């Protein structure tokens, strides 16, 4: 039995090692590609051990360091404000839907779920946000449309409240004259930290990676661009320079525009902060997903 267990453990460890490498190696390849010379990258393709290294892509990005840092600051602000608002609204809505005695609970739950399947479309949404709420060329245009509240997060947190907050504790709190707000903040939330971390991570990633809102709602105020919008603009500019008549001037000066390398360097700049933050949420994230999804 001991030999069987050791063999089984070895196989499991081998499988987990392969899966871990499958997750890690693409990021390593991404970093190596961003440090590869443009000519080598174009002719020889991507490699973990390129024949020639180059920092041209990062030098190109360094020329816009001030703009990138400002975009990072805007992204951090939008992500912090949007994630905080998303978590609080999700928390309140999910707590209400977890109450079995809530009037019209089934109808409200169906309405929330319905929004996961159907929506009004891009044009009606754009008209509502710009003509009624006037979010065009404002920070609100980066925070509210499409991201401020999501049905999936509400369902996850409602399931968690229903499954992991004992009714006996809530009834005892009511006997002690505790209000519903008090029950939420003093009982339900302390017991729901893994799910709160999970919802915060989902929302934070959505805000960090979003560039659609900036594309749609920031027409003149380019200074409000987040990092994704700035990096997307820089890629477009590099591609334009490479394909335009100006390329002959660069060639005559022996200057190359590392278009492929810039894409890789931009991906590195965009993903590194997420890789740094994720390990701090990993434990709560896994627990929240497992417990919140089992009893849906």
Could you tell me the CATH number of the domain that includes residue 126?
A: 1.10.3720.10
| pLDDT for residue 223 | 82
Spatial separation of the C-alpha atoms in residues 160 and 290, rounded to whole Å = 10
Structure tokens belonging to residue 284:
């709560």
Residue 248 lies in a domain: yes
Spatial separation of the C-alpha atoms in residues 206 and 148, rounded to whole Å = 10
Q: What is the pTM of this model?
A: 0.77
Residue 10 lies in a domain: no
| pLDDT for residue 241 | 60
| pLDDT for residue 254 | 47
Residue 77 lies in a domain: yes
| pLDDT for residue 152 | 87
Burial 98-112 (b: 16+ CB within 10 A, else e): beeeeeeeeeebeeb
DSSP percent split of the chain into helix, strand, coil, nearest 5: 75, 0, 20
| pLDDT for residue 3 | 53
| pLDDT for residue 239 | 63
State the number of CA atoms in the 13 A half-sphere of 110 facing the CB: 4
Evaluate the CA torsion angle 86, 87, 90, 92 in order and state its sign: negative
Residue 48 lies in a domain: no
Residue 33 lies in a domain: no
Residue 17 lies in a domain: no
pLDDT digit string (tens) for the chain, length 296 residues: 445 578 888 888 899 999 988 888 888 888 888 888 877 877 887 888 888 888 877 887 777 778 888 888 899 999 999 999 999 999 998 988 888 888 888 888 888 888 888 877 888 888 889 999 998 989 999 999 888 888 888 888 888 888 888 888 888 888 888 888 888 888 888 888 888 888 888 898 899 889 889 888 988 877 888 888 887 887 776 666 666 545 555 455 444 555 677 778 877 887 877 777 777 766 655 555 555 444 44
Residue 109 lies in a domain: yes
| pLDDT for residue 288 | 52
Query: What is the total count of domains within the chain?
Result: 1
| pLDDT for residue 242 | 61
- CB under 8 Å to 208, separation ≥6 — which residues? 75, 79, 228, 273, 274
Kind plus residue range of the DSSP H or E element containing 190: none
Residue 232 lies in a domain: yes
Domain ranges, residue 130:
57-294
């Amino acid at each position: 039995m001991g030999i069987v267990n050791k063999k089984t453990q070895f196989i499991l460890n081998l499988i987990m090692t392969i899966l871990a490498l499958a997750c890690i190696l693409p990021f390593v390849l991404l970093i190596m590609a961003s440090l590869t010379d443009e000519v080598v990258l174009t002719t020889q393709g991507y490699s973990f051990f390129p024949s020639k290294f180059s920092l041209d892509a990062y030098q190109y990005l360094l020329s816009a360091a001030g703009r990138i840092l400002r975009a990072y600051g805007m992204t951090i602000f939008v992500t912090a404000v949007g994630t905080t608002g998303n978590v609080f609204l999700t928390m309140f809505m999910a707590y209400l839907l977890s109450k079995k005695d809530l009037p019209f609970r089934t109808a409200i739950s169906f309405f929330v779920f319905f929004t996961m399947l159907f929506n009004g479309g891009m044009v009606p949404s754009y008209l509502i946000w710009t003509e009624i709420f006037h979010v065009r060329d404002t920070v609100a245009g980066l925070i509210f449309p499409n991201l401020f509240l999501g049905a999936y997060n509400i369902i996850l947190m409602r399931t968690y409240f229903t499954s992991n907050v004992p009714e006996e504790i809530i009834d005892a709190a009511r006997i002690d004259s505790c209000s519903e707000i008090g029950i939420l903040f003093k009982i339900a939330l302390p017991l729901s930290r893994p799910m709160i971390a999970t919802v915060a991570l989902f929302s934070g990633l959505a805000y960090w990676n979003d560039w659609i809102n900036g594309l749609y709602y920031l027409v003149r105020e380019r200074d409000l661009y987040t990092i994704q919008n700035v990096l997307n603009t820089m890629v477009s500019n590099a591609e334009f320079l490479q394909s335009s008549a100006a390329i002959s001037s660069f060639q005559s000066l022996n200057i190359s525009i590392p278009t492929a390398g810039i894409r890789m360097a931009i991906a590195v700049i965009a993903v590194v902060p997420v890789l740094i933050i994720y390990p701090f949420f990993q434990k709560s994230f896994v627990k929240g997903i497992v417990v919140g999804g089992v009893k849906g």
